[in-house]
Amino acid sequence: APGSPALMSAPSPDRLDQLRAPVHWQAVDFISDLHLQPGEPQTFEVWRAMLQRPVSERPDALFILGDLFEVWVGDDVLASTASTDQAFWRACAEALRVFSVHTPVYFMAGNRDFLLGAQGLHACGMHGLSDPTTFDFLGQHWLLSHGDALCLADTDYMRFRAQVRQPSWQRDFLAQPLSERTAIARDLREQSEARKRNTANDPSLWADVDAAAARAALQATGAHTLIHGHTHRPAVHALGDGLQRVVLSDWDAAAHPPRAEVLRLDAQGLRRVPLPLS
């Protein structure tokens, strides 16, 4: 049956992709960490309004560098009537599919939506990217990543990541009934939120990208700038010798103050573009 676990394709293991922009591209946008979910409709509406802009106002491509979704337990969430949130996930997929008719969308898995497989990508009209990916654009070499693989000090998470990115683990997980996968994901999210609350008042406990690892990745790929998300701390970090990493903002339209922006890259360089929130 369509959408059954036996027919789903698990994402590929991490590897380095290379992407060269077509010569006619003049501007591209980057976003990450929207954490779209049924319980946060404000962020969804801001995102959908962004996708519904006239074609003349769009970039030449949109890059989503992970955690577009708060959780993704398998591509069958789009087809299974057993999911109470099916309508929400289908609305997300439809918005992306319509947008992608005129503007290519590239998706890199994050730590929340790494189980988005070939069927899900197809339903959303997106092209999958490996983490990391080098991107040649406007005569320069950029390095794209979600960023979680570079948070080396978060040893508990790094062990967890190594486990769940194994194809065998993913096959076993996707073989379970959707209800069980959803329950497991709910438990993991609750544990994650508890850890966030415990460290909320002590920034020194927050995991961040390892500067030496980021520098080494740039040197190994010949790029000068790493663009990533994951940490929810939008900033520019100089790494020496003209190298830098640029951190994308997370999105939360219900926060105080609200957060929703794209990072635009064009001939003028990188700049942050806040989105209308009403």
Measured CA to CA, the distance from residue 226 to residue 223 in angstroms comes to 7
Q: Give the contacts of 241 (CB within 8 A, at least 6 positions apart).
A: none
Q: Which residues of 245-276 are buried (b: 16+ CB within 10 A; e: fewer)?
A: bbbbbbbbbeeeebbbbbbbbbeeeeeeeebe
- Along the chain (278 residues), what's the average pLDDT of each consecutive run of 10 residues? 36 71 98 96 98 96 98 93 83 98 98 97 97 97 97 94 96 95 90 69 72 97 97 96 98 96 98 90
Cβ pair 19, 129 in contact under 8 A = yes
**The whole model's pTM is what?**
0.91
* CA 37/CA 69 separation, integer angstroms: 6
| Cα gap 195→153, rounded to integer Å | 15
What's the rounded Cα separation, in Å, for the pair 228 and 217? 12
H-helix or E-strand containing 8?
Answer: none
How high is the pLDDT of residue 204?
Answer: 55
The tokens describing 30, both together, are 């980057």
